[in-house]
Amino acid sequence: MKKIFKSAAVFILSALICMPLTAQENDFKDEPQKEDLVEYVYQMNQKGDQYIKVAISAMNPIGFGNMFEGTAKMYTGGMGSLGYHYFIKPWLIAGADIGFGFCTTIGKHIFNYIPFVATLTYQPTFRQFEFPITVGLGFATETYINYKYFPGLVLKGEVGAYWRINASWSVGADVTYFFMPQFAQLYNKEAHNILGQFVGGTIGARYHF
C-alpha cells in the first residue's frame, strides 16, 4: 500500500511541475509571431551622392569699366566649365568649378579668364525636375594682351532648371552672373580699377554617381 501511495505522490508531483511548462508552451503557440519590418525609402538625391557637371556658356559683359587704359567695350564671348559636387543633404550641395572663358574687344583683342570657384547649392525638386540655386566665391587668372591680373576676385550667382533623365544623368540650363573686379590701383596708382560683370546663358549635363 505504501508503494502505491508513494507512486501516486510522485505522479501528482510530476504533473504539477509539468503543468506550467505546458501552459507556457500553449501561450507561445496562441500568440502571433511579430516580424520586424524594415521600410526602405528611395530618394533620387541622398546624402553622400555626387555628380560631375560639364557646361558651355555664352557670356555677355555688362557694366564693364575701364580695361587697363581708356574705356574698353567687349563683345559676347564664351566659357566652358567642369565641376565636382557633393550632396551634404538631399537638398544642399557643396562643390567646386573650374572654367575657361574669353571675350573679344572692339579692337579685336581677347580677354581671357580662368575662374576657380567654390560653390554652395540649394536644390528643390519636383518629380523629375531639379532647380539648383547656386552661390560661389573664388579667384581667377585674367589676361589681356600683355597684361596679367592674379588673383582676381570672383563672385558667382546661378539659377537653373534640370531634368533628371535617369539615376545617372540630368540635363538643363542655367542663368549665370559673374562679378570679377580688378583692383589694379593697389599695384599701380596710375592704373584703372575695373568692375567686370558678366551675365551668361548656360547649357549643362550632369553625371550622378
Q: CA 190, CA 184: separation in Å to the nearest integer?
A: 9
Q: CA 97, CA 201: separation in Å to the nearest integer?
A: 16
pLDDT in tens, 132-145: 999 999 999 999 88
> If you search the block for the grid coordinates 579667384, which residue do you land on?
139
What pLDDT, on the 0 to 100 scale, is given for residue 22?
Answer: 47
Query: Among candidates 156, 82, 162, which has minimal Cα distance to 119?
Result: 156
Q: CA 98, CA 71: separation in Å to the nearest integer?
A: 29
**DSSP strand pairing (147-164 vs 169-182):** antiparallel
What pLDDT, on the 0 to 100 scale, is given for residue 47?
Answer: 94
Helix, strand and coil percent figures for the chain, each rounded to 5: 15, 55, 30
What pLDDT, on the 0 to 100 scale, is given for residue 185?
Answer: 74
What pLDDT, on the 0 to 100 scale, is given for residue 15?
Answer: 54
Residue stretches of the chain with pLDDT short of 70: 1-42, 63-72, 191
Q: CA 159, CA 152: separation in Å to the nearest integer?
A: 23
Q: How many residues does the chain have?
A: 209
State the virtual CA torsion across 111, 143, 57, 77 in degrees, nearest 10: 0
Q: CA 22, CA 27: separation in Å to the nearest integer?
A: 9
Q: Are 104 and 142 in contact (CB under 8 A)?
A: no
What pLDDT, on the 0 to 100 scale, is given for residue 147?
Answer: 85
Q: Exposed e or buried b for every residue in 174-189, given b needs 16+ CB within 10 A?
A: bebebebebebeeeee
What pLDDT, on the 0 to 100 scale, is given for residue 28?
Answer: 45
Q: Are 196 and 61 in contact (CB under 8 A)?
A: yes
What pLDDT, on the 0 to 100 scale, is given for residue 153?
Answer: 95
What pLDDT, on the 0 to 100 scale, is given for residue 68?
Answer: 46
What pLDDT, on the 0 to 100 scale, is given for residue 204?
Answer: 98
Q: CA 173, CA 193: separation in Å to the nearest integer?
A: 32
pLDDT in tens, 68-113: 444 457 889 999 999 999 999 999 999 999 999 999 888 788 999 9
